[in-house]
């Protein structure tokens, strides 16, 4: 063992002597040339090629570096053995992992293995700069086989950038935008006011028949993953949804569930705050991709039921350029028209962004102009119906804490459960009304809450039955759809609202009713309806 250490010390001494001789005999410039030649020879015979992705590109940050860092945060799992750094970005809703300094991780793409190494080195002293650079130089080094170069580049980098955009969007808080100021811009030139979107509704908690929910989720998934399809077919990457049905059936919750499912921002467009088609177009141009544009109660927002009718005179307020429009002035005759709204959803300007969903909601589909309902504008019609037994079971799980249908069937009184199934269709009750009954009785215990719900269903069904048999007028209503007293009150309130917001509606009501069946004809021609 002693001889081994003696030989090692002699070898190190010889190496140090040769190094001193080389530094004394050969100048630094010649040594640098030799090092570069040796590096080239090594790379020429190496089966790998290397690519550096630096953090800074001159004085600006490198977009690819940030994308690689985000992408590796999803692939570099702690189980891989790599040392990871933990971080959380501003306005982010989750933590992200990153590759620590001087560590590496292996990834695969298109059947080829690649290696990423995070290299961190101290930056040499810099002179005076208006924008000081970081103290350390950071870069990612990508190592791939030479034979895989054409297969991986640039497809692999495009995949990384797309994945990073998706990770960044899903990790940040989603936003809800509104045009409370009409179409006028703020100091940043943006007409939308944002607030964090925290709605907890998901498709798991949405009270709807599971088969219908599955169909909607599949359609949304196909849309989000259909970039190549829409490009190949020459269609704009957008889709329209019409949610219609009685009040309280979950139309707003459906929109929130769609946003949470896709990870999209929501733009709540208030048409009554927009004074002209030009403002409507500018609002559309200021929306981002991967977003849901919502117009709720489209039949009550503005008077769009008659294309030939004279539009209502807008109230005086600030226009898009900040000027005040007075009644009788140059801008007094401007208003949103049906043509402007159609161009908003299906015109050339609707294609100025990609991956956007338009959602209209209404309580009375028969009052909408058939032009709004055709495919290309509202591609999918979703009827938000009264609460079915399957939807009722979802609400029981949500509010009473049942863990699945098996526990619901096991812990519930069979007679009560059968009674709920028997009476829910006859009661024609909305999910909102069911939720209110369960909220009021949730502290009484599961069994008591279900009995109270059964009593409420029976009372509601009996009330409807008595209303249907009370006279010829009630019988006529039953034949036309069986509206109950609460729905009549809601109908009256909506009529008053439309009368206040649309003075000309009463004059054009006859024309509207005569076209009420147009949307159904469109559906009969092949429109997708859920």
State both tokens at 144.
């791939």
pLDDT of residue 481: 46
Residues in the chain: 530
340/219 same-domain check: yes
* CA geometry: angle 365, 279, 330, nearest 5 deg: 110
What span, in angstroms and rounded, lies between the C-alpha atoms of 245 and 251? 8
Q: For the segment 376-413, what is each residue's pLDDT rounded down to a tens digit?
A: 889 999 999 999 999 999 999 999 999 888 888 888 89
Give me the numbers of helices (H) and strands (E) for the chain, helices first please: 21, 18
DSSP string, 430-451: -HHHHHHHHHHTGGG-HHHHHH
Q: Which residues of the chain have pLDDT under 70?
A: 75-83, 87-97, 124-135, 183, 185-189, 302-334, 470-529
Find residue 114's DSSP bridge partners: 107
Token pair 């209404």: residue: 362
CATH number of the domain bearing residue 347: 3.40.50.300
Q: Do 218 and 101 fall within a single domain?
A: no
222: CB partners within 8 A, 6+ apart: none
Of the residues 360, 385, 410, the one at which a domain ends: 385
Query: 451 phi and psi, to 5 degrees?
Result: -65, -40
Domain boundary among 347, 368, 385: 385
Closest to 72 in 3D by CA, of 105, 120, 114, 49 = 105
447, part of any domain? yes
Residue pointed to by tokens 């809450």? 449
Strand partners, 295: 360
Domain membership of residue 266 (yes or no) is yes
Whether 215 contacts 241, CB under 8 Å: no
Q: What's the CA gap between 94 and 436, in Å, rounded?
A: 33
Q: Is 235 helix (H, G, I), strand (E, B) or coil?
A: coil
Q: CB-based burial of residue 167 (10 Å sphere; 0-12 exposed, 13-18 middle, 19+ buried)?
A: middle
* SS3 state of residue 392: helix
Structural domain of residue 318, as residue ranges? 175-385
The separation between the first and the last C-alpha atoms of the chain, rounded to the nearest angstrom, is: 83
- Angle of helix 431-440 relative to helix 446-468, nearest 10 degrees, comes to 140
Burial of 474 (0-12, 13-18, 19+ CB in 10 A): middle
Spatial CA neighbour of 206 closest among 249, 155, 150: 249
Beta-carbon contacts of residue 71 (< 8 Å; ≥ 6 apart): 160, 163, 164, 167
Note whether 24 and 86 are same-domain residues: no
Answer yes or no: do 419 and 470 share one domain.
yes
Residue 134: predicted pLDDT: 65
**Do 97 and 138 fall within a single domain?**
yes
Q: 494 lies in a domain?
A: no
Residue 162 forms part of a structural domain: yes
Residues 63 and 97 in one domain: yes
CA-to-CA distance for 466 and 70, rounded, in angstroms? Answer: 63
Rounded CA-CA distance 179/193 in Å is: 6
Are 110 and 259 part of one and the same domain? Answer: no
Residue bearing tokens 């080195």: 121
DSSP state of 349: G
The pLDDT of residue 177 is 94
Contact between 469 and 475 (Cβ < 8 Å): yes
User: Which ranges of 234-337 would DSSP assign to H, the alpha helix?
Assistant: 251-262, 277-285, 298-301
Q: For residues 106 and 165, state if they share a domain.
A: yes
**How far is Cα 519 from Cα 372, in angstroms, rounded to an integer?**
9
Query: Does residue 276 share a domain with residue 189?
Result: yes
Instruction: Please tell me the distance from the alpha carbon of residue 328 to that of residue 169, in angstroms, as a whole number.
Output: 46
Helix (H) or strand (E) holding 201: none
* 466: CB partners within 8 A, 6+ apart: none
Q: Give the pLDDT confidence score for residue 122 in this predicted structure.
A: 81
**267 and 243 inside one domain:** yes
Alpha carbons within 13 A on the beta-carbon side of 439: 6
**Domain tally for the chain?**
4
Predicted local confidence at residue 419, as pLDDT: 94
Torsion of CA 261, 264, 266, 267, to 10 degrees: -150
Same domain (yes/no): 61, 37? no
Please report the beta strands in 135-263, taking only residues with DSSP state E, as ranges in sequence order. 136-145, 175-178, 193-196, 238-244
Is residue 245 assigned to a domain? yes
501 part of a folded domain: no
Contacts of 513 (CB under 8 A, 6+ apart): 366
Query: Count of CB atoms within 10 A of residue 42's CB?
Result: 9
- Predicted confidence at residue 475, as pLDDT, reads 45
Same domain, 113 and 138: yes
Nearest-Å Rg of the Cα atoms of the chain is: 33
3-class SS letters over 370-392: HHHHCCCCCCEEEECCCCCHHHH
Is 515 within the bounds of a domain? no
Give the pLDDT score at 42: 74
With respect to residue 9, please indicate whether it lies within any of the assigned structural domains: yes
Cα separations in angstroms, 191 against 198, 279, 286, 351, 353: 22, 10, 7, 19, 17
């Amino acid at each position: 063992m002693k001889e081994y250490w003696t030989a090692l010390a002699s070898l190190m001494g010889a190496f140090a002597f040769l190094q001193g001789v080389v530094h004394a005999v050969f100048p630094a410039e010649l040594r640098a040339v030799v090092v570069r030649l040796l590096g080239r020879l090594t790379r020429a015979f190496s089966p790998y090629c290397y690519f550096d992705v630096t953090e800074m590109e001159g004085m600006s940050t490198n977009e690819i570096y940030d994308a690689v860092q985000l992408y590796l945060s999803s692939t570099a799992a702690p189980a891989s053995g790599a040392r990871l750094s933990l971080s959380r970005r501003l306005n982010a809703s989750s933590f992200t992992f990153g590759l620590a300094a001087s560590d590496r991780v292996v990834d695969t793409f298109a059947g080829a293995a690649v290696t990423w190494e995070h290299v961190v080195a101290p930056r040499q002293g810099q002179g005076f700069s208006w924008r000081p650079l970081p103290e350390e130089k950071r870069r990612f080094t990508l190592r791939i086989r030479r034979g895989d170069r054409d297969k991986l580049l640039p497809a692999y980098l495009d995949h990384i950038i797309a994945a990073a955009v998706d990770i960044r969007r899903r990790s940040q808080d989603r936003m809800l935008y509104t045009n409370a100021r009409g179409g006028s811009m703020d100091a940043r030139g943006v007409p939308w006011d944002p607030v964090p979107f925290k709605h907890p509704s998901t498709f798991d908690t949405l009270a709807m028949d599971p088969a219908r929910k599955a169909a909607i989720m599949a359609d949304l998934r196909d849309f989000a993953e259909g970039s190549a399809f829409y490009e190949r077919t020459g269609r704009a990457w957008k889709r329209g949804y019409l949610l219609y049905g009685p009040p309280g059936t979950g139309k707003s919750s459906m929109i929130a569930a769609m946003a949470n499912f896709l990870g999209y921002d929501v733009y709540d467009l208030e048409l009554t705050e927009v004074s002209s088609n030009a403002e409507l177009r500018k609002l559309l141009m200021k929306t981002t991709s991967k977003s849901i544009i919502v117009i709720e109660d489209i039949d009550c927002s503005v008077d769009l039921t008659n294309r030939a009718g004279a539009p209502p005179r807008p109230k005086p307020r600030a226009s898009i350029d900040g000027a005040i429009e007075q009644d009788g002035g140059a801008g007094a005759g401007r208003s949103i028209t049906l043509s402007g709204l159609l161009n908003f959803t299906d015109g050339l300007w609707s294609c100025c962004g990609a991956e956007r969903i338009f959602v209209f909601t209404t309580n009375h589909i028969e009052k909408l102009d058939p032009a709004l309902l055709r495919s290309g504008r509202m591609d999918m019609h979703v009827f938000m119906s009264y609460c079915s037994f399957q939807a009722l079971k979802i609400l029981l799980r949500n509010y009473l804490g049942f863990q699945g249908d098996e526990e619901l069937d096991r812990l519930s009184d069979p007679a009560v459960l059968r009674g709920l199934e028997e009476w829910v269709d006859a009661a024609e009750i909305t999910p909102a009304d069911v939720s209110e009954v369960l909220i009021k009785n949730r502290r009484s215990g599961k069994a008591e809450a279900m009995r109270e719900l059964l009593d409420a269903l029976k009372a509601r069904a009996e009330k409807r039955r008595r209303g249907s048999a009370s006279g010829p007028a009630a019988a006529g209503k039953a034949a036309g759809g069986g509206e109950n007293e609460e729905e009549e009150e809601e109908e009256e309130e909506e009529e008053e609202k439309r009368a206040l917001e649309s003075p000309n509606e009463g004059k054009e009501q006859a024309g509207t009713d005569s076209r009420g069946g147009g949307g159904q004809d469109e559906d009969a021609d092949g429109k997708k309806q859920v």
